[in-house]
A and B are shown apart, each in its own frame.
Chain A
């Protein structure tokens, strides 16, 4: 039994009504979710059936796009100061979940790409640039993010797309291919090489106005088709010494990499948080199937193996939500650490979600493969959601980002230091404003996200204590291993051993997030989440993932009652658990 730290209160009986903040209005769907309406209602023009139909045609659902216009989704990506609604990263991650719950194409085409496209301008753009982009997004327009080259992919330093100075203009030359909404978006943010010298000051970001591009110097390339997210518009443009004003440069010539290293911390934290919505739909679909379907004389939902799989998936969703939400909060509270945390989130959350989905797909059986029928949304999400992982920084890129930062942060592990950063973990605590330019490029400082594992250890006993001990041992091993890395193994050319270290560390961070959230959210209204059962399950699973705690186990159906209850009452399978449409 855990000995309660003094500030925790355990609410008995019906939960106290919370009127503001994260835990307010849990029994009413959030406005975007409500606007989409009941996904299972065949008559709903925005239900799953409608989206599936559109997908079969390879189109975005027009009703879906109109809804996002009416809702003013663009404002979610514009900072408060410019007239938008972007103020808290954790809130944004949750606000985008209804999109990912409903349709991957809409989510990626209208959500992800506008976020990724705009964020560099919020970091480094001047007043006029920010105003222009804000107006585009607030007016329902789109911005395409043309950062990578197909030839060199995520090796942006190898980019061959150039912008050459010509008086008070720049001449753009090269191709941008497989870019979401390129050719249809009103604004384009684009990465170009502005200097032939090697090194990190040779690239610049530009904000371009699509309508202003000279038709004689730009060719639209044919749309690239995908099998996944069939409706996503992936375009390309070929620039032939296309003139653009020199004032298109965002943040000063040569500052692109720095800007991107900051900006992507936001996107890499928010997007994984949002994709949990997609997994929610898939898990919900399988729960519904399992309750209805009878095999061997029982409902599938009564079979122990199926129950364990469903429980594990729900627990993993909570792990992902813990890590992603805390990383989003860290952007506000600990901007010197987020270069590391954001990469860890973008690496680990897609892996955990994908594996959970594969496991529950086995329960669904043949119906996980059919494009028709009540479970058809499962295979559509299965096809679509990995796109979110790949299109913006895949696993190897994220790990490569983490590697050079491990040495410094590892020195602070297991050290006594400032107390636990409870504001970081407390889901309903307020946050200072997001200051994107203040985000560090290389992480430094005490590792507040991992810290609960060693600072709270003394307060734990039983399985939680044993688990904390495992992670403490892991941190000690990691620190020694990192110290032993050769210099080359701290770069993108690093040997695979370094990648493994980074991957293991990401798992430790997830454990820290889970423990931290549990310890520091006394206002959590949900009894299941206040209880330690899910934490034991989550930490055990994370430990097993890195080959530790083999002797430790957890009740395999621990999350089933809560999962079924939320399915019945229509609440989300995440840390907040708000009502769905």
Chain B
């Protein structure tokens, strides 16, 4: 561990740059800071884009972190990038989505662009250019194959291909108006079907006036200041260099890039969970009920601990997913769909449950209480489950992967799996060429679960973890084995999946999360068991609490996360998190000092 300044506070290496950003941004409770809760609340109230905050992030060099090193930027590890996005998201989702969108918008070029295209865009982004991603259309939503925006190839000129003429409208596009560039999915061929789609990186600054129009920003339920607008092209001409990827591969490029961006969205939900838990804790510690602190009432403690368990589960999944980008790129289709379904759903439920702790105050806006942060958070976070692939779209994606997930097709990539879950293992650079539309050899996280369950049983036999944890993990492994054998036999049709298939997909996603958590714990428990967050790791406490939040059965009636871990487990978790906080660390699996601790130090 490296030491943070001041008192001897440690920070996990993965979180070192995140901590730097936190320190540079300062305490968000301080209204004098640019990126403060106050400023964000004001901007939200006035439905204005948080320009000042974004500029602050620009000045701190954050855009460079959206650009891969080979394109001239600072982005090296996606798991670190996730933690950066988390820092921003835990202060304000409008900013995270508005500023972080450039990362998502440019991603097509990182995945499929030529070195020259990457370099050029990289420079642009590092200088502050905003990139947006034009995928959806008013009448077709996320049915990308049905898109109406066309890009007709212009006849070749004397020097070769002359480019494209773009016509049509993209709608509900983040930063369509603010953006300088937009990556557009358009129909370039005449025949219906995926081979006729291409991605074009359109530089609005180079378009002739009148050849495009940005549409008014939509008024939104949450992230009210965000620029969710649209763009209409009428005869907009772009050069041949605008084409990203080989001709006719547009849909593939988009689907593979979505795998990457869906993993990155985990940072948004994780940050939101951090924020919500922090708010509820603050509230519960300051209020008095029945002769004591609200936070000490057994039922409140339990609600807070359950939210803490959700947070740690989300964090575990995010840690593994970020590493999987590097270590298991060929399986990212499965991991990303699971993550993009699960985390927004989980965290939205967590926030709703926390509303019960915060009570009527959760409804208040402006300065009356904590700058109305809680109600804003609830409204803002809802969007994360909707854009860049809604929960339904991601479940659909998992269904199409069913044939590959069972024992017949699965071949566990043991070295990749080990690298994905061991936080100290080296990671290869991200290789977009290894991305695949379908995980042809299954999902190694799932494949590794039986062995992992055996590992936990052995630990229990040695008295290192409670028998109850071993039982939970074994039950998860058994359920998963049955599930995979079952889904392997499903023949997904082109579109009309029965609801049972969607519920099975939910179960698959939960198994992926559980498998990630178990293997993360096994691979890191000795090392992290000795650090400032050791009490969470040593006897599998966080794992038992987190797994308790994954129910035993599929969707159907009631909340997918209405399960509760043992009362004894949540009680212990509550105590450990309190002690961790008293020692100056955030509720996290990895040591990360709080602002209060940094200030005292």
Cross-chain contact A390 with B298 (CB below 8 angstroms):
no
**Complex interface: chain A residues within 8 A of B143 (CB):** 295-296
- In the complex, which residue of chain B has the Cβ closest to the Cβ of A358? B348
Cross-chain contact B221 with A494 (CB below 8 angstroms):
no
- In the complex, which residue of chain B has the Cβ closest to the Cβ of A229? B363
Cross-chain contact B498 with A372 (CB below 8 angstroms):
no
Q: A362-B391, A390-B362 are in contact. Are A158 and B288 (CB under 8 A)?
A: yes
- Whether A66 is near chain B, meaning CB under 8 Å from some CB there, is no
Cross-chain contact A152 with B299 (CB below 8 angstroms):
no
- Whether B352 is near chain A, meaning CB under 8 Å from some CB there, is yes
- In the complex, which residue of chain A has the Cβ closest to the Cβ of B376? A227
Cross-chain contact A544 with B570 (CB below 8 angstroms):
no
Cross-chain contact B290 with A493 (CB below 8 angstroms):
yes
Q: B219 contacts which of A371, A394, A497 (Cβ < 8 Å)? A: A371
- In the complex, which residue of chain B has the Cβ closest to the Cβ of A392? B360
- Whether A354 is near chain B, meaning CB under 8 Å from some CB there, is yes
Complex formed: what's the CA distance from A372 to B172 in Å?
13
Cβ of A567 to closest chain B Cβ, rounded Å:
20
Q: What string of 1s and 0s marks CB contacts (under 8 Å) between B337-375 and chain A?
A: 000000000001000100110011111111010001001
Complex formed: what's the CA distance from A157 to B553 in Å?
42
Cβ of B499 to closest chain A Cβ, rounded Å:
4
Cross-chain contact A178 with B221 (CB below 8 angstroms):
no
**Complex interface: chain A residues within 8 A of B558 (CB):** 355, 541, 544-545
Cβ of A533 to closest chain B Cβ, rounded Å:
16
- Whether A542 is near chain B, meaning CB under 8 Å from some CB there, is yes
**Complex interface: chain A residues within 8 A of B385 (CB):** 362
Contacting A at CB under 8 A, from B555-571, are 556-559, 562, 564, 567, 570
- Whether B572 is near chain A, meaning CB under 8 Å from some CB there, is no
Q: A158-B290, A371-B221 are in contact. Are A496 and B364 (CB under 8 A)?
A: no
Cross-chain contact A496 with B567 (CB below 8 angstroms):
yes
Contacting B at CB under 8 A, from A519-569, are 540-545, 547, 550, 556
Complex formed: what's the CA distance from A379 to B557 in Å?
23
Q: A369-B382, A372-B218 are in contact. Are A395 and B365 (CB under 8 A)?
A: no
Complex formed: what's the CA distance from A158 to B297 in Å?
15
- Whether A382 is near chain B, meaning CB under 8 Å from some CB there, is yes
Q: A158-B290, A495-B298 are in contact. Are A296 and B386 (CB under 8 A)?
A: no
- In the complex, which residue of chain A has the Cβ closest to the Cβ of B559? A355
Q: Considering residues B299, B496, B498, B502, which has the most beta carbons from chain A within 10 angstroms of its beta carbon? A: B299
Cross-chain contact A362 with B359 (CB below 8 angstroms):
no
- In the complex, which residue of chain A has the Cβ closest to the Cβ of B382? A369
Q: B288 contacts which of A151, A296, A387 (Cβ < 8 Å)? A: A151
**Complex interface: chain B residues within 8 A of A298 (CB):** 495-496
Cross-chain contact B289 with A153 (CB below 8 angstroms):
yes
- In the complex, which residue of chain B has the Cβ closest to the Cβ of A394? B356
**Complex interface: chain B residues within 8 A of A542 (CB):** 557
- Whether A366 is near chain B, meaning CB under 8 Å from some CB there, is yes
Chain A interface residue count, Cβ-Cβ cutoff 8 angstroms: 69
Cross-chain contact B366 with A540 (CB below 8 angstroms):
no
Cross-chain contact B298 with A493 (CB below 8 angstroms):
yes
Q: A226 contacts which of B364, B495, B502 (Cβ < 8 Å)? A: B364
Q: A496 contacts which of B298, B360, B499 (Cβ < 8 Å)? A: B298
Cross-chain contact A362 with B392 (CB below 8 angstroms):
yes
- Whether A84 is near chain B, meaning CB under 8 Å from some CB there, is no
Q: B287 contacts which of A153, A400, A500, A556 (Cβ < 8 Å)? A: A153
Q: What string of 1s and 0s marks CB contacts (under 8 Å) between A186-206 and chain B?
A: 000000000000000000000
- Whether B379 is near chain A, meaning CB under 8 Å from some CB there, is yes
- Whether B23 is near chain A, meaning CB under 8 Å from some CB there, is no
Q: B363 contacts which of A387, A494, A495 (Cβ < 8 Å)? A: A387
- Whether B390 is near chain A, meaning CB under 8 Å from some CB there, is yes
Q: Considering residues B365, B499, B570, which has the most beta carbons from chain A within 10 angstroms of its beta carbon? A: B499
Cβ of A230 to closest chain B Cβ, rounded Å:
8
Complex formed: what's the CA distance from A157 to B291 in Å?
10
Q: A365 contacts which of B288, B376, B386 (Cβ < 8 Å)? A: B386
- Whether A423 is near chain B, meaning CB under 8 Å from some CB there, is no
- In the complex, which residue of chain A has the Cβ closest to the Cβ of B291? A158
Complex formed: what's the CA distance from A390 to B374 in Å?
14
Cross-chain contact B288 with A370 (CB below 8 angstroms):
no
Chain B interface residue count, Cβ-Cβ cutoff 8 angstroms: 67
**Complex interface: chain B residues within 8 A of A550 (CB):** 553
Complex formed: what's the CA distance from A374 to B600 in Å?
53
Complex formed: what's the CA distance from A396 to B302 in Å?
11
Complex formed: what's the CA distance from A308 to B556 in Å?
10
Cross-chain contact A400 with B299 (CB below 8 angstroms):
yes
- Whether A57 is near chain B, meaning CB under 8 Å from some CB there, is no
- Whether B141 is near chain A, meaning CB under 8 Å from some CB there, is yes
Complex formed: what's the CA distance from A154 to B556 in Å?
34
- Whether A225 is near chain B, meaning CB under 8 Å from some CB there, is yes
Cβ of A187 to closest chain B Cβ, rounded Å:
22
- In the complex, which residue of chain A has the Cβ closest to the Cβ of B360? A390
Q: A155-B289, A371-B220 are in contact. Are A224 and B298 (CB under 8 A)?
A: no
**Complex interface: chain B residues within 8 A of A307 (CB):** 499
**Complex interface: chain B residues within 8 A of A368 (CB):** 221, 382, 386
Cross-chain contact B392 with A395 (CB below 8 angstroms):
no
Cross-chain contact B556 with A541 (CB below 8 angstroms):
yes
Complex formed: what's the CA distance from A312 to B382 in Å?
21
Cross-chain contact B364 with A224 (CB below 8 angstroms):
yes
**Complex interface: chain B residues within 8 A of A365 (CB):** 141-142, 386, 390, 392
**Complex interface: chain A residues within 8 A of B365 (CB):** 225-227
Complex formed: what's the CA distance from A369 to B364 in Å?
20
Cross-chain contact B386 with A369 (CB below 8 angstroms):
yes
Cross-chain contact B362 with A366 (CB below 8 angstroms):
no
Cross-chain contact A366 with B172 (CB below 8 angstroms):
yes
Cross-chain contact B287 with A151 (CB below 8 angstroms):
yes
Complex formed: what's the CA distance from A363 to B559 in Å?
16
Complex formed: what's the CA distance from A224 to B502 in Å?
43
Q: A390 contacts which of B172, B297, B355 (Cβ < 8 Å)? A: B355
- Whether A417 is near chain B, meaning CB under 8 Å from some CB there, is no
Cross-chain contact B222 with A497 (CB below 8 angstroms):
no
Q: What string of 1s and 0s marks CB contacts (under 8 Å) between A386-407 and chain B?
A: 1100110011100110000000
- Whether B33 is near chain A, meaning CB under 8 Å from some CB there, is no
Q: A153-B289, A158-B289, A224-B364 are in contact. Are A304 and B499 (CB under 8 A)?
A: yes
- Whether A499 is near chain B, meaning CB under 8 Å from some CB there, is yes
Complex formed: what's the CA distance from A322 to B364 in Å?
33
Complex formed: what's the CA distance from A243 to B290 in Å?
29
- Whether B14 is near chain A, meaning CB under 8 Å from some CB there, is no
Q: What string of 1s and 0s marks CB contacts (under 8 Å) between A469-496 and chain B?
A: 0000000000000000000000011111
Q: What string of 1s and 0s marks CB contacts (under 8 Å) between B246-282 and chain A?
A: 0000000000000000000000000000000000000
- Whether A305 is near chain B, meaning CB under 8 Å from some CB there, is yes
Cross-chain contact B364 with A178 (CB below 8 angstroms):
yes
- In the complex, which residue of chain A has the Cβ closest to the Cβ of B44? A227
Cross-chain contact A500 with B564 (CB below 8 angstroms):
yes
Complex formed: what's the CA distance from A394 to B300 in Å?
13
Q: A365-B390, A391-B360 are in contact. Are A494 and B218 (CB under 8 A)?
A: no
Cross-chain contact B299 with A386 (CB below 8 angstroms):
no
Cross-chain contact B553 with A305 (CB below 8 angstroms):
no
Complex formed: what's the CA distance from A372 to B147 in Å?
23
- Whether A238 is near chain B, meaning CB under 8 Å from some CB there, is no
Q: List 15 A-B contacts (CB under 8 A).
A: A153-B360, A178-B361, A298-B495, A312-B557, A354-B352, A365-B141, A366-B141, A366-B386, A369-B222, A369-B386, A372-B219, A386-B355, A396-B299, A396-B356, A494-B298
Q: Given contacts A295-B146, A309-B499, could you give 17 more A-B pairs where the C-beta distance is less than 8 Å?
A: A56-B219, A152-B288, A154-B359, A155-B289, A226-B363, A295-B142, A365-B141, A366-B172, A366-B386, A368-B382, A370-B220, A390-B355, A396-B300, A494-B299, A543-B557, A550-B553, A556-B500
9 cross-chain pairs, A with B, having the tightest CB-CB distances, nearest first: A541-B557, A308-B499, A496-B302, A545-B558, A371-B219, A544-B557, A379-B221, A227-B375, A155-B289
B residues neighboring A (CB under 8 Å): 136, 139-143, 146, 172, 218-222, 287-291, 297-303, 348, 352, 355-356, 359-366, 368, 372, 375-376, 379, 382-383, 385-387, 390-392, 495-500, 502, 552-553, 556-559, 562, 564, 567, 570
